[in-house]
Amino acid sequence: MALVTITGYPSSGKSRRALQLKTHLESRLQDPNYAGPKLKVQIISDDELNLDRNVYSDSRSEKPARGALFTAMQRQMSQDTILIIDSLNYIKGFRYQMYCAARELKLRVCTIFVVTTQDLAREWNETRQDSKVYPSETFENLVQRYEEPSSMVRWDSPLFTVPWLDEDIPADDIWKAVTEGNIKPPNAGT
Ligand code: ADP
């Protein structure tokens, strides 16, 4: 049905936004006024694939990790799923590859750019209380190599930019993008 690609600096809040989006989409799908096809919402993340943040420290381990993510994505893409890819997705060419795979199956696509300053992401990385801390050198390296998405290229479009200060994501617009507006929105006509 749809592929939602989340991208942003390491520790910029991508997983937090992925969960917010999943909650929003599920509540719309469960709304009694929802008249579209039965869909499920799934998140694929590094954690779900047991990819340690250390894999990004070395291109020899990063490449197979990206391969594992791509394989999992291909396996789970389908007409009855809204698939959210919660990972760095920082390489332009990789986002292009995901876009092509999704379009081959005629899925809707959109990209969510989770925006923070480098300083904030660094601070959140250093103070996070879970096992998902990027080693400092890896963090700096990833930030330097980060390739920002652009609404000017078709594989990043439509692009939703979510600044760190925003409490929530633009759920209505994302819902429209993934359902193409051909599904009656919840509460329509009431
Ligand atoms: P990522 O998936 O990009 O690694 P997470 O969503 O796991 O990022 O968040 C990284 C850390 O930053 C977590 O400790 C989280 O609580 C914190 N964090 C994320 N977004 C915000 C925000 N908007 N304001 C304050 N802290 C945040």
pLDDT of res. 189: 45
Strands 108-115 and 40-45: unpaired
Task: Pick the atom of ligand 1 nearest to 132's CA.
Answer: 4
Distance 34 CA to ligand 1 centre (A): 31
Q: Give the global pTM.
A: 0.94
Tokens of 90: 């920082």
**Closest residue by CA, ligand 1 atom 19:** 13
Task: Write down the pLDDT at residue 131.
Answer: 87
Please state the φ and ψ torsions of residue 52, each to the nearest 5 degrees: -70, 150
CA of 8 to the centre of ligand 1 (A): 11
4: nearest Cα among 84, 73, 117: 84
User: Which residue's alpha carbon is nearest to atom 18 within ligand 1?
Assistant: 13
**143-157 residue pLDDT tens:** 999 999 999 999 999
Annotated domain spans of the chain: 2-179
Q: What does the pLDDT read at residue 170?
A: 97
State how far the Cα of 45 lies from the Cα of 49, in Å rounded to an integer.
6
Query: What CATH class is the domain 2-179?
Result: alpha beta
Joined together, the tokens standing for residue 95 give: 């986002």
Pair 157, 111: CB distance under 8 Å? yes
Q: Which residues contact 86 (CB under 8 A, 6 or more apart)?
A: 6, 14, 15, 18, 43, 44, 45, 46
pLDDT single digits (tens) 43-59 = 999 999 999 999 999 98
Which stretches of the chain drop beneath a pLDDT of 70? 181-190
The ipTM (two decimal places) reads 0.98
Distance from the alpha carbon of residue 135 to the mean position of ligand 1, in angstroms: 16
CA 159 to ligand 1 centroid distance, Å: 20
Ligand 1 atom nearest the C-alpha of 166 is 23
Atom number of ligand 1 nearest to Cα 127: 14
| 23 alpha carbon – ligand 1 mean position (Å) | 17
